Amino acid sequence: MNILVLNCGSSSLKYQLINMDDEKVLAKGLCERIGINGSLLTHQKIGEEKFTIKQPMPTHNEAVKLVFDVLVDKDHGVIKSSDEIDAIGHRVLHGGTKFTESIVVDEKVKETIKECFDLGPLHNPANLMGIVACEKNVPGKKNVAVFDTTFGMGMEEKAFLYAIPYEYYEKYGIRRYGFHGTSHKYVSGEAIKFSKLDPKNAKVIVCHLGNGASISASIGGRCVDTSMGLTPLEGLIMGTRSGDIDPSIIQYICNKENKSVDEVLNILNKKSGILGLSNGLSSDFRDIENAMNEGNHRAKVAMDAYIHVIVKYIGGYIAIMNGVDAICFTAGVGENDKYTRKVICDNFTYIGLKLDDKLNDIRGEFREISASDSKVKVLLLPTNEELAIARETLRLM
Ligand code: ADP
């Protein structure tokens, strides 16, 4: 049973073909610069060298066609024909209030994904194009939409409503949705399995710390709160996103700098975060840490502020859950950066959390990194959104 997973961005398309009998990846790749000069596909049959094809891809349709061609290519392919693909799982960014679960795509589902274009203007149109391209290139296959927002749909009203006039929720669906939902669900689920926690009551906090970053709290796998909101801008300090700010700052900058709201939001999304705090030094956490270690004060403050907010969220989530069984670190920084994990964990010795510094001295490997007598488990748990999407697709077949 083979499932193809597609993740379409505005000008890119990532894919993996996974054999669900053993959950092993057969091939994976990336189409870049879709709709731009110089489109290229990088493909890898697992166990072999990567290879690239430079070929115009004016739209996602040509990109999807090329992916199917390369998967059956006699030298670089891994299957004989598209008949060997049993279903296709699509990552879709925003499901609005309409989708509380992954769903098999039909005409109505496509219409609803379209209705959510306003909520995910960069991603949802590309996600839909990927679905339509699959319907066109390999007709008759089951397409499944897996939304980034469905994990957050588990929240109660007290956690997902903003304290603004209720009519805006009723009219426009303005609420906290949360993103990276596939990752939060996967990591919290794996943590419960690995640490043999009570599947119904386990209290788990997942820190998804990449360039985009978010944090979630769940009880028995059900999301009770998460840091991203209507859009991915809210919450933690990120590579280039500000995270939480006083909304009045937007009006203040508009007036002082004679800018439009759109321009200021662009600054909050693309020029803020550690890039902004470090006075433009870098949005890459490795650069910031290197500069900090060389004595750069702005880099040190950026790193301290980044960690300060994460600690504040973890503390808040422990309070609303009245405890925590496991804290998991995942994504680029979470999986690779022992310094960040250590400084965060050192703030929670008061609840009996003990990190084992030797076990923490690792990158990118699934492992428990807390001491054996720690009251809270700490896990380094690499996320695998593609596998999570493939599992959801299989579940709906
Ligand atoms: P996204 O998917 O949001 O683009 P990733 O999960 O790929 O993000 O994470 C990218 C981030 O991880 C980058 O900012 C990078 O600096 C950071 N990162 C990767 N390795 C390390 C490391 N060893 N130390 C600190 N940060 C790291």
pLDDT at residue number 10:
87
Question: How large is the C-alpha radius of gyration of the chain?
Answer: 21
What confidence category does residue 236 fall into, taking pLDDT thresholds of 50, 70 and 90?
very high
Q: How far is the CA of 384 from the centre of ligand 1 (A)?
A: 15
Q: How far is the CA of 283 from the centre of ligand 1 (A)?
A: 10
Residues annotated as catalytic (active site), given as ranges = 148
Across 338-344, average pLDDT: 98
Structure tokens at 125: 């149109």
Share of the chain above pLDDT 90, in %: 98
Across 15-28, average pLDDT: 98
What pLDDT digit, counting tens, does each position of 304-330 carry? 999 999 999 999 999 999 999 999 999
User: H or E stretch including 314?
Assistant: helix 297-321
Looking at the predicted structure, is the pLDDT value of residue 82 above 90? Answer: yes
- Does residue 284's CB lie within 6 angstroms of at least one atom of ligand 1? yes
List, in order, residues 6 or more apart from 29 with CB less than 8 Å away.
Answer: 14, 15, 41, 42, 43, 44, 67, 70
The Cα angle at residue 20 between residues 16 and 23, in degrees rounded to 5? 75
Ligand 1 atom 4: the closest Cα is on which residue?
Answer: 211
Q: How far is the CA of 341 from the centre of ligand 1 (A)?
A: 13
CA distance 209 to 204: 16
What confidence category does residue 207 fall into, taking pLDDT thresholds of 50, 70 and 90?
very high
Task: Name the residue among 57, 22, 23, 61 with its Cα closest to residue 42.
Answer: 57
- Does residue 232's CB lie within 6 angstroms of at least one atom of ligand 1? no
- Does residue 337's CB lie within 6 angstroms of at least one atom of ligand 1? yes
Nearest atom (ligand 1) to Cα of 239: 14
Share of the chain above pLDDT 70, in %: 100
Q: How far is the CA of 333 from the centre of ligand 1 (A)?
A: 5
What confidence category does residue 122 fall into, taking pLDDT thresholds of 50, 70 and 90?
confident
Across 250-260, average pLDDT: 98
CA distance 284 to 208: 16
Across 172-194, average pLDDT: 97
CA distance 15 to 231: 24
Nearest atom (ligand 1) to Cα of 337: 24
What confidence category does residue 116 fall into, taking pLDDT thresholds of 50, 70 and 90?
very high
Average pLDDT, the chain: 97
Looking at the predicted structure, is the pLDDT value of residue 198 above 90? Answer: yes
- Does residue 211's CB lie within 6 angstroms of at least one atom of ligand 1? yes
CA distance 155 to 160: 6
